[in-house]
Amino acid sequence: MRVGTEEKIKTLIKSVLIFVAILAVAAGIIVGGMHFLGISVSIDSILGKKQKHTPVITDMSFRAAREEQEKALKQQYGDDWDKPVVKKSAEPEIKGYQFKKPVLALDSGYSIKDPGMASVRGKREVEYNDRFVEELIPKIEAAGWEVKLVRGEHEYISDKHRAAQANIWEADLLLSIHHDVAPAKFLREETVDGVTTLVNTSGKSFEGFSMYVSKNNKKYRQSLCFAQRLGFRLKPMQHNPAYFHKEHEGMDLLVKEYAIYESDIPLLYQAEIPAVQLKLGVITDAKDESWLNDGVYRDEMAKAIAKTIRAFKQYCQ
């Protein structure tokens, strides 16, 4: 009787093992068929467990801007639009070899001989231009570019010759730094204790940055590309673009969002390289002029310009 029971148990175990084996084979056939048909399944999904997804982190190095602006840039240039032009891993191992740095022809507007208009403080525009250019140079160099100054501190040079100098250097980009004033019809000169200032008589506020490019420049497309990317960086800062040149002076506004105007000054259209004139703010506006005298604010603007120049050849050539 005992022997018969043992035989039954052995038979039962064999039956169970055979059944399990059949199930395993069947499961393998089913999963293989699903993969063949392009259907994927996981144990977690079968058991109803929620899978954890690693979040995608995008590291953008510019200050917070509107979501739609960011989307537009990503759509046009891809997710990596803000990465440096040259990566360390791309450097050759040949000893003694040096990359040829891209060249920025940096122009400081006006001169001591032709100092430009007076501000609300009685300072001439050339003083604002020279101060900012001096602060901008080390940031451009840190971005991997060589800087060549179009005008020396005590030199006078015409717009036509400024463009010619940049052409001779075969620079990669010409950037002219200026500051703005309100429309002339609204300005009145006042002299107090020998200091001449310009007073805005309109009661309106004229403030903000603006840029100028020429459609007659041989590299107009690249010029406009740089201006747009620079405007994208500057707009989220303290004040808005200046639109008053269109309203009161009839200038052709190419890109309203960043106050990019069409201008045919010789500096822009005679340059054979991409060329942009940037007006950082309005020195006849008390609020704007106070921003322009803030060293921290100027530092932020200089950083924004340097970052845009660093990526210029990657996205605007």
Q: Which tens digits make up the pLDDT trace of 293-314?
A: 999 999 999 999 999 999 999 9
**Percent of the chain scored above 90 by pLDDT?**
55
Instruction: Of 6-20, 257-271, 277-291, 292-306, give the lowest mean pLDDT range.
Output: 6-20
Domain-located, residue 28 = yes
Task: Write out the residue range of the structural domain in which residue 181 sits.
Answer: 68-315
Q: For residues 37 and 109, state if they share a domain.
A: no
User: Does 61 reside within a domain?
Assistant: no
pLDDT tens string 60-108:
333 444 456 556 656 766 665 554 433 344 444 444 445 689 999 999 9
Whether the CB-CB separation of 58 and 79 falls below 8 Å is answered with yes
pLDDT at 254 exceeding the cut of 80: yes
Centroid of chain to Cα 279: 17
Same domain, 275 and 305: yes
Q: Which amino acid is at 283?
A: I
Residue 277 belongs to some domain of the structure? yes
Q: Which helix (H) or strand (E) holds 125?
A: helix 125-142
Question: Which amino acid, residue 65?
Answer: A
Number of structural domains the chain divides into: 2
My answer on whether 21 and 76 are in the same domain is: no
Confidence label for 15 from pLDDT (cuts 50, 70 and 90): confident
60, part of any domain: no
Do 161 and 197 share a structural domain? yes
Q: Is residue 59 domain-resident?
A: no
Does a structural domain hold residue 58? no
Check whether 117 has a pLDDT greater than 90: yes
Confidence of residue 147 (pLDDT cuts 50, 70, 90): very high
Q: Are residues 32 and 171 in the same domain?
A: no
In a domain, 55, yes or no: no
Residue-level pLDDT at 203: 85
Closest CA to 284 of 186, 209, 204, 199: 199
Asked, for residue 279, whether it belongs to a domain, the answer is yes
Question: In terms of domains, do 89 and 7 share one?
Answer: no
pLDDT of residue 60: 39
Q: Are residues 41 and 79 in the same domain?
A: no
Number of helices (H), then strands (E), belonging to the chain: the values are 11, 9
pLDDT reported for residue 99: 62
**Mean pLDDT confidence for 250-262:** 95
Query: pLDDT at residue 5 above 80?
Result: no
What pLDDT is stored for residue 152 in this prediction? 86
Shared-domain flag, residues 11 and 143: no
Whether 22 and 85 map to the same domain: the answer is no
CATH of the domain at 232: 3.40.630.40
Q: Same domain, yes or no, for 156 and 17?
A: no
CA angle 115, 118, 119 (to 5 degrees): 130
Please measure the distance between the N-terminal and C-terminal CA atoms of the chain and give it in whole angstroms.
Answer: 95
Specify the 3-state DSSP secondary structure of 178: strand
- Give CA separation, 287 vs 232, 281, 282, 284, 297, in Å: 22, 10, 9, 9, 13
Three-state secondary structure string covering 28-80: HHHHHHHHHCCCCCCHHHHHCCCCCCCCCCCCCCCCCCCHHHHHHHHHHHCCC
Closest by Cα among 222, 85, 96, 92 to 144: 85
Q: What is the mean pLDDT of residues 156-170?
A: 93
**Is residue 34 predicted with pLDDT exceeding 60?**
no
Mean of the per-residue pLDDT values for the chain?
Answer: 81
Same domain, 109 and 18: no
> What is the C-alpha to C-alpha distance for residues 295 and 230, in angstroms, rounded to an integer?
20
Q: What's the average model confidence in pLDDT over 23-34?
A: 60
